[in-house]
Every structure is written in structure tokens, then in C-alpha cells.
């Protein structure tokens, strides 16, 4: 987890939980087995440690349903908002995130807000790393917001979840 403070509020960027990673390395959320490969070029956004892969690292592309897993843990049904998509993870255990600042900076992102029922409450386009703090402050100023997902604009892929600390 990565924590940071904006306007005296602490937020936590969450990587995929180690127990969930263990599951995904057996069968992903589409019930497919993991197929590891050596990342020859590097640069894949790893959701297990919230950094980009290095050339030669052993990684895998798996299907992940972050809202479904969150909802199952909280006892709610996200209904039609449930979705799954591709994410890169290390094929083997890794130490997890060790970051300062925002994970995966330098590109346009969306900050998608979710209610405690798992329904989308809106979102915001973030164009630079300095704008994340404002986007999180804005999102969490709404008491209806339980969590946010940061997603890549290019493909819409889930990058990481943020909650109030």
C-alpha cells in the first residue's frame, strides 16, 4: 500500500492483496490458468507492486475483477457495475509496493468513484500527477464515496484502488 496526504486527509493506494494474487496465479477471475512469460521489453504496469516491469521479469496477464472482489468482502452486489479486465502481475511472489508518490504517473488517468453499494458515482480525468490530490479530495469530499479506482485512459484498465486511510 502507498499512503499520502492531501489537505490533511490521508489516502491509501492499494495494490492487489497478496491472498488474491495467490488465487490469480492459480486461476484468474475468468477461471483461466496463469500463463507466465518473460517480459522482454519491460514497462508493463504491475498491479501487484504498483510499478512498471523491468526487462526480463517473469510476469503474467490475468483477468481481474476488482469491484467484484471488494463487493464480496463487504457483502454487497455491484450488479451491472461488476466487470473484469486484464492486469499484469508478477508470475511469482514479489515484495509488493514500495513507492513514494502516485503509482504510474505521467499519463492521463481516470479516477472513478464508487458507492458503498458498488455503484459508479462519477469520475474525473486526471492529466498530470499534481492533479491526483485534488481528484481524491474531490471524490472523498462526497460522503457517499467508499472507494475510487484509478484507471488507464488508453484502455480503461484498472490500475489501483484508493481508499481513505
Reduced 3-state DSSP string for 68-87: HHHHHHHCCCCHHHCCCEEE
Q: How confident is the model at residue 10 (pLDDT cuts 50, 70, 90)?
A: confident
Reported as a pLDDT band with limits 50, 70 and 90, residue 1 is very low
Burial (CB count within 10 angstroms: exposed 0-12, middle 13-18, buried 19+), residue 8: exposed
pLDDT in tens, 135-149: 998 999 999 999 999
What is the average pLDDT value for the chain, to the nearest integer?
90
Q: How far is Cα 13 from Cα 31, in angstroms, rounded to an integer?
A: 26
**Is it the case that residue 86 has pLDDT exceeding 50?**
yes
Residue 92 has pLDDT above 80, yes or no: yes
Q: What is the pLDDT of residue 36?
A: 98
Task: Write out pLDDT tens, residues 13-24.
Answer: 899 999 999 999
Q: What is the pLDDT of residue 50?
A: 93
Best CA proximity match to 116, nearest among 73, 85, 159, 158: 73
Amino acid at each position: 500500500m502507498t499512503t499520502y496526504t492531501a489537505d490533511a486527509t490521508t489516502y491509501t493506494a492499494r495494490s492487489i492483496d497478496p491472498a488474491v494474487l495467490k488465487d490469480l496465479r492459480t486461476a484468474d477471475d475468468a477461471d483461466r490458468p496463469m500463463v507466465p512469460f518473460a517480459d522482454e521489453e519491460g514497462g508493463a504496469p504491475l498491479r501487484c507492486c504498483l510499478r512498471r516491469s523491468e526487462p526480463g521479469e517473469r510476469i503474467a496477464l490475468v483477468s481481474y475483477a476488482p469491484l467484484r472482489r471488494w463487493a464480496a468482502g463487504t457483502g454487497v452486489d455491484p450488479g451491472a457495475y461488476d466487470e473484469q479486465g486484464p492486469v499484469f502481475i508478477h508470475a511469482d511472489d514479489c515484495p509488493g509496493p514500495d513507492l513514494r508518490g502516485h503509482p504510474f504517473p505521467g499519463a492521463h488517468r481516470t479516477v472513478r468513484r464508487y458507492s458503498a453499494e458498488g455503484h459508479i458515482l462519477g469520475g474525473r480525468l486526471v492529466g498530470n500527477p499534481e492533479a491526483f490530490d485534488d481528484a481524491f479530495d474531490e471524490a472523498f469530499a462526497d460522503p457517499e464515496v467508499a472507494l475510487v479506482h484509478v484507471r488507464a485512459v488508453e484502455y480503461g484498465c484498472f490500475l489501483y484502488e484508493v481508499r481513505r486511510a
